[in-house]
Amino acid sequence: MVAARRASRRRSVLIVIVLTTVTLITLDTRNGRSGPIGAIGRAAHTVVGPVQGLVDDVAGPVSDWWHGVSDAGHLKSDNRRLRQQVAALQGKERQADLAIQDDAVLKKYLALQNSLLAKSATAQIVGRDPGNFDPTLTIDKGTESGIAVDMAVISPEGLVGRVIEVWRGGAKVRVLTDPTFAVGVQTPGHPGAPATTGAASGQVGSHDLIVQFDQGTKVAVNDVIVTSPMSTLFPPGIPVGSVATVTEQPGGTGIVATVHPFVDIGGLQYVTVLEWVPGQGPAFATTTTTSTTTSTLPGSTTSTTRAGH
């Protein structure tokens, strides 16, 4: 009990000292630093200074902690809002990039249509067969656009395939890399060796075509292969691909060439269907010289040539 009374008495004395000191400091501030009150005020500052510093040292971290707790919700809200804004801006940037890419692709198809002498219809690809090799593509135009079965399908880079089914509002295209696809092709002419025709077809499990030529045919790696004038379904001179390998068959039975197509089937978004039938004449403009005829497809990776006939 005695200890409790002493502790209470000490707290009371401390409170009286603090109140007195505050009063003196106030009077000192109002009456200036001179005179007896000023001297007492300065003494009060000297006494209270260390106490005030101690209180600030204790209260400062507590105040900082309290502000951190009270502001945490606002910081989280601001952070969430900023992340949403960044995501929205990134989405708009991706949309702008896609629009620019789509515009560039459509400009190529417009140039392709301007180079054609035959009627055509450019359509968007809306479906693909499952699997890695896309044996067929579905497009969003059909009989209403003049498309019919067996019409040739191309892109600015070259041959894509042919129409195998058609209906109002859509059609199905078999692509040239499908193993059941075949097209008559022709090699370029070489010094001392004329152009030679053959049949190109797809291979199981490969994106390349295979072509069988007669023994003695002059075929070289990087030769450009185009559709043959002898083809019954395709206009002549459409770029097909470039020769990747040349192999002579055992026993002199012929030459086999693998051809890498110019068209990346998996990367296509659009195709152009040629409304062309055999006997109709050239499907697209060509530049003829004394020895070669060169197609003018705008997206071809290289000029395509064949011996003139």
pTM, full prediction: 0.63
The answer on pLDDT for 44 being more than 60 is no
Of 303, 301, 299, which is closest to residue 110 (Cα–Cα)?
299
pLDDT tens for each residue of 221-273: 999 999 998 888 899 999 999 999 999 888 878 899 999 999 999 899 999 99
Query: Higher model confidence: residue 215 or residue 2?
Result: 215
User: 283 and 116 in contact (C-beta within 8 Å)?
Assistant: yes
The answer on pLDDT for 126 being more than 80 is yes
Q: How many residues does the chain have?
A: 309
pLDDT tens for each residue of 162-198: 999 999 999 999 999 999 999 999 999 888 888 889 9
Q: How far apart, in Å, are the Cα atoms of 293 and each of 115, 227, 278, 303?
A: 15, 12, 19, 10
- Provide the CATH number for the domain formed by 116-307 in this structure: 2.40.10.340
Helix, strand, coil in percent for the chain, rounding step 5: 40, 30, 30
pLDDT class of 288 with cuts at 50, 70, 90: very low
Report the b/e string of 276-292 with b at 16+ CB within 10 A: beeeeeebbebeeeeeb
The answer on pLDDT for 77 being more than 90 is no
**Domain residue spans of the chain:** 2-69, 116-307
Q: What is the DSSP letter of 291?
A: S
